[in-house]
Amino acid sequence: MFDSICVYCGSSSRAAEPYFEAARGLGRLIAARKLKLVYGGAHVGLMGALADAVLAEGGHATGVIPRALVEKEVAHTRLTEQHVVESMHDRKALMCELAGAFVAMPGGFGTLDELFEILTWAQLRFHAKPVGLLNVNGFFDHLLAFCDRAAADSFINPAHREMIFVDSDPAALLDAMAAHQPPADYKVWLAKGRSKA
């Protein structure tokens, strides 16, 4: 079980409305379940919609944002707490430390970078926290097909492919992730700057 969840999602304000509604729905659910949101700290795109929904329901929202993005005036100014870091690497490491689970929503290169880095850290046993995809409108279908192909061609261990929780329903996704139990012999190897799961 976890009491905080990191959500990776897009910063584009041009995304279609169903993606924004999904972000707001996930935010309301996070607040209803008394989970603390950890996210990239911006007020734009799905990121802003997600955080605003959490805050509107009286929830706790923590941002982690690089200083360069603060200077570009995209930082959310009404969060419960906002951590300003020096680099994208620092951002991802701190988000990992602060969160007990991870969910990726639709987004672009940045979202995929965060998703695959946290999956790689799980594969390398730097953490044993659950990782999920909220598959809005089949957004991740092709990505999941790629993962299946990579596993079939022996580039991804099938056990590592199975680490990814997937659902289009946010409540079902969080329920499955909350029931996650790492194997009994799963030893977490600690990397500098990352906390034990």
Task: Classify 80 as helix, strand or coil.
Answer: coil
| Residue 197 included in any domain | no
User: Does pLDDT of 189 surpass 80?
Assistant: no
Q: 60-66 and 36-39 as β-strands: parallel, antiparallel, unpaired?
A: parallel
Helix axes 109-123, 88-98, angle to 10 degrees: 60
Confidence band of 194 (pLDDT split at 50, 70, 90): very low
| Residue 155 included in any domain | yes
Q: CATH number of the domain at 69, please.
A: 3.40.50.450
Domain housing 110: 4-178
| Residue 100 included in any domain | yes
Distance (Å, whole) CA 191 – CA 108 = 27
| Residue 191 included in any domain | no
Mind listing the pLDDT tens digit for each residue in 6-61?
999 999 999 999 999 999 999 999 999 999 999 999 999 999 999 999 999 999 99
| Residue 102 included in any domain | yes
Distance (Å, whole) CA 42 – CA 60 = 15
Confidence band of 165 (pLDDT split at 50, 70, 90): very high
The pTM (predicted TM-score) of the whole model is 0.92
pLDDT score, position 73: 84
| Residue 50 included in any domain | yes
Mind listing the pLDDT tens digit for each residue in 80-124?
999 999 999 999 999 999 999 999 999 999 999 999 999 999 999
Helix axes 45-56, 17-32, angle to 10 degrees: 40
- Domain total of the chain: 1
